[in-house]
């Protein structure tokens, strides 16, 4: 009991100190209304090296590959929740403020049917304000328009470019259409895109990414 109290107090003190430092401004200024960066996430990722090459916050149990082929919009953190797998061989583009639940898979290349040593790429595009539910899998070549909600456990094998819908099942199909005038578009006002300041992101992308913002 005493140890737990000590750790809680120490954690609050560290967080208070960190939040006061200019470098950690991305922690103080929320980038997403439902998923917030904390010091523990930063420490595991940037210091201990879990998903170090991702420029956005990710959970240490998630995994991302080929980050140079992944463009993530403002306030979008694919892999922020536990157990996700983000494979960027064929390229992934994620719009702003899209959210991803636990155990989500985004796959942008599959093995060739006749030669498993070869990958067939297919860029994945996910629009703004999308929501991908727990255990959902998005396969190569899929395009999801703005405000596409992917139900838990769905396997998305084809595109839904018009968005504004709820999809689910295996293979995924439209379950419900959304009323566009009820879909709220918001801006958090944060100067960051993940760990990168917004005004510095174009330079970062030109140097480190193979996709353009």
Catalytic residue among 53, 111, 119, 208: 111
Q: What is the dihedral of CA 102, 103, 108, 111, to 10 degrees?
A: 180
Unique residue bearing structure tokens 């996910």: 126
Which two tokens mark 68?
């140079």
- Alpha carbon 102 to chain centroid distance? 11
Active site residue 59: no
Contact 156, 135 (CB under 8 A): no
Tell me which residue has tokens 């210091």.
47
Q: Which residue has the tokens 């005004």?
A: 199
CA 31/CA 36 separation, integer angstroms: 7
Taking the mean position of all CA atoms in its chain, how far away is CA 185? 18
User: Other C-beta atoms within 10 Å of 185: how many?
Assistant: 10
8 Å CB contact between 26 and 195 = yes
Residue whose entry in the numeric block shows the structure tokens 């954690």: 11
- By annotation, the residues acting in catalysis are 111
């Amino acid at each position: 009991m005493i140890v737990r109290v000590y750790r809680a107090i120490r954690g609050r003190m560290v967080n208070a100190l960190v939040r006061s430092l200019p470098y950690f401004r991305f922690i103080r200024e929320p980038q997403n209304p439902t998923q917030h960066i904390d010091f523990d996430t930063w420490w595991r990722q940037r210091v201990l090296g879990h998903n170090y090459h991702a420029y956005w916050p990710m959970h240490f149990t998630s995994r991302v590959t080929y980050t140079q082929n992944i463009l993530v919009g403002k306030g979008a953190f694919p892999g922020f929740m536990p157990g996700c797998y983000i494979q960027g061989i064929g390229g992934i583009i994620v719009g702003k403020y899209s959210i991803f639940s636990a155990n989500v898979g985004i796959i942008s290349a599959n093995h060739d049917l006749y030669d498993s040593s070869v990958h067939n790429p297919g860029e994945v595009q996910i629009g703004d304000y999308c929501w991908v539910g727990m255990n959902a899998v998005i396969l190569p070549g899929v395009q999801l328009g703005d405000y596409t909600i992917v139900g838990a456990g769905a396997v998305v094998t084809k595109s839904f470019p018009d968005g504004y819908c709820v999809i689910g099942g295996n293979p995924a199909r439209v379950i419900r259409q959304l009323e566009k005038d009820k879909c709220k578009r918001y801006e958090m006002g944060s100067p960051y895109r993940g760990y990168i300041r917004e005004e510095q992101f174009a330079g970062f992308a030109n140097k480190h990414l193979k996709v353009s913002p």
